Structure 1
Amino acid sequence: MKWLIRIVVVLVVIIAAGLWFGWSQLGALVKFGIEKGTPPVVQTSVSVQHVKLSPFSGSGVIEGFEIGNPKGFTGPYAVRIGRTEVAVDTHSVSADKVVIQHIRITDPEINLEAGLGGTNLKHIADNAMNFVSQQTAPAGNAAPNAAAPPADGKPKKSVKLQVNELLITGAKLSASAAGVIPGADAKITLPEIRLTNLGTGAAGITPAELTALILRQLNTEAVKASASGALKNMLQGGAAKINTGGIKGLFGK
């Protein structure tokens, strides 16, 4: 009888050690997934310093998230997020759609660059939407410049998400138009961005769609800021020198 108890104890210890190792590597796996899965979507570099997730509470933190600039832009990065807090409904992880209670992005740094073809954020957001279109379009109908289709010609099945709250606070915007207005540069803090009930329908929202939505929202707020205050002063006269429809034409829609 004693030997049976010992075997059971050893098995429990082995299983517990395996679970602990798996849980301890969860953050590393998510980090790997972000760094490998996001670049094809945004068509530029993506890096993450650290990810910490709790499999019990569903809460976690992503630190040091950075999206590089697309081709044609000179800044070291487009978006840098020091800290993002997430809370996932753990009961939904094995379901058809993963429910994220909230995503809270704090004090992101946005390096907005304007070019004759629009801003770097708009380029990245468009890349993401092209990726989404390519993934969902029938073979032969992919959007121009989209990522290469799957080898079998079939759309890839993407993760379905529902985000109950997306909150972006304290976004620091650094805007420049060095390529068209030498020396133009200004800094401003964007107002709070809060979106709710994303992907509540049966189709949900994919990670690529969520990425594009966030970037487009940031770009929209940046365009609004460019029409008043410090950014307007920076660009006044400069937009007139290039016939692109004024400030909004310079920064894109």
Structure 2
Amino acid sequence: MKKVLIGLVVVVVALGGVFYYLASNLDSILKQVIESEGSSTLGTDVRVDSVALDLRGGTATINGFTVANPDGFSDADMIRFDELHVALDLASIGSDVIRINTIRSTNPYARFELQGTRSNIQAIRDRFPPASSEPPAESSGPAPVIALDDLTINGIQGTLQSDQLPRAVDVNFGNVQVTNVEGTPDVLAQQIARSIMAQLAGNARDALEEVASGAVEAEIRNRVNEATDDVRNRVDEELQNADPEVREAAEALRDRLGF
């Protein structure tokens, strides 16, 4: 009987040690899960500096979240957040559907690279099947079902790099929002990623058209100015060889025309 009691004590102590280890290492465990699952879903490296989990408050703060460019593009980060703040509905933990109330970002950044007709964002989008081909999420399976009420990313600063532009330019990619999505972790991750990438692609396309149009206008202005300078220089050369009366009349006319 004594040996049994000792054995039970050993088991309890061991379990306590396991629970203590898990509780004290939840942040690092969650960090590893985000990096592993994120990289698997997007097909490119996902990195996180740190995670701060507040179980009592139902919040998690993800610091230094980055998504690398896919293969075939530059070594720069494609997406970067200084911070992602997640608010969880604690009352939903014991229910069939775990609910995330909000996800908010701090200092979001995105990089859009276009090589010919293919972009880095499209390379990521190609990994996801059309929404209509997804199997419906089931709440009775072994994987938990998670619902996200609202993910909002405002004021995305970014960089445009394209063979249509003489150089990379800094732009504002606007805002991205994903609302009312639900599914198993894998399905939910694909839904969120697909929606974000689609909106980013649209915002980047609009920004590229605006920047390219401005670049063309600037090029036209530069060429007109160069042509005007060339004509002015030729006129000056001709006037140097003209009679004083002709030169005086021509200069008066040029002053009136602002030439």
Q: Is the CA contact (8 Å cut-off) linking 1:111 and 1:175 kept in structure 2?
A: yes
**Which amino acid in the other structure matches residue 175 of structure 2?**
E
Question: Cα–Cα, structure 1 residues 102 and 70, in superposed 2: closer, same or farther, change >3 Å?
Answer: same
Give the drift of 1:104.
Answer: 0.5
Give the drift of 1:203.
Answer: 11
1:214 match: 196
Question: How do 1:49-88 and structure 2 match up within 5 A?
Answer: 49-88=49-88
Q: Is the CA contact (8 Å cut-off) linking 1:52 and 1:61 kept in structure 2?
A: yes
Q: Is the CA contact (8 Å cut-off) linking 2:45 and 2:68 kept in structure 1?
A: yes
Q: What RMSD, in angstroms, separates the aligned Cα atoms of the two structures?
A: 3.6
Aligned residues: 206
Output one character per residue of 1:17-43: Cα deviation in whole Å (capped at 9) or x when no partner.
765543331121111111111222111
Q: Structure 2: 5+ residue runs without aligned partners? A: 1-11, 220-259
Aligned partners of 1:93, 1:132: CA distance in 2, in Å? 27
Which one has more relative contact order, counting CA pairs under 8 Å at least 6 apart? Answer: 1
2:177 match: 194
Aligned partners of 2:142, 2:116: CA distance in 1, in Å? 36
Aligned partners of 2:130, 2:20: CA distance in 1, in Å? 36
More helix by share: 2
Q: Does 1:168 align with 2:153?
A: yes
Q: Is the CA contact (8 Å cut-off) linking 1:106 and 1:170 kept in structure 2?
A: no
Question: Cα–Cα, structure 1 residues 198 and 174, in superposed 2: closer, same or farther, change >3 Å?
Answer: same
1:100 match: 100
Give the drift of 1:235.
Answer: 7.3
**Which amino acid in the other structure matches residue 165 of structure 1?**
D
Aligned partners of 2:99, 2:206: CA distance in 1, in Å? 31
1:115 match: 115
Q: Is the CA contact (8 Å cut-off) linking 1:186 and 1:234 kept in structure 2?
A: no
Question: Cα–Cα, structure 1 residues 166 and 123, in superposed 2: closer, same or farther, change >3 Å?
Answer: same
Give the drift of 1:74.
Answer: 1.5
Aligned partners of 1:182, 1:196: CA distance in 2, in Å? 34
Question: What secondary structure sits across from 2:207 in the alignment?
Answer: helix
Question: What secondary structure sits across from 1:206 in the alignment?
Answer: helix
Aligned partners of 1:210, 1:46: CA distance in 2, in Å? 15
Question: What secondary structure sits across from 2:70 in the alignment?
Answer: coil
Question: How do 1:11-30 and structure 2 match up within 5 A?
Answer: 19=19, 21-30=21-30
TM-score under structure 1 normalisation?
A: 0.67
Give the drift of 1:57.
Answer: 1.7
Question: What secondary structure sits across from 1:85 in the alignment?
Answer: strand
Question: Cα–Cα, structure 1 residues 65 and 231, in superposed 2: closer, same or farther, change >3 Å?
Answer: farther
Q: Is the CA contact (8 Å cut-off) linking 2:45 and 2:67 kept in structure 1?
A: yes
Q: Is the CA contact (8 Å cut-off) linking 1:131 and 1:208 kept in structure 2?
A: no
Question: Cα–Cα, structure 1 residues 209 and 19, in superposed 2: closer, same or farther, change >3 Å?
Answer: same
Q: Is the CA contact (8 Å cut-off) linking 1:160 and 1:204 kept in structure 2?
A: no
Give the drift of 1:227.
Answer: 2.5
Question: Cα–Cα, structure 1 residues 159 and 175, in superposed 2: closer, same or farther, change >3 Å?
Answer: farther
Aligned partners of 1:235, 1:162: CA distance in 2, in Å? 46
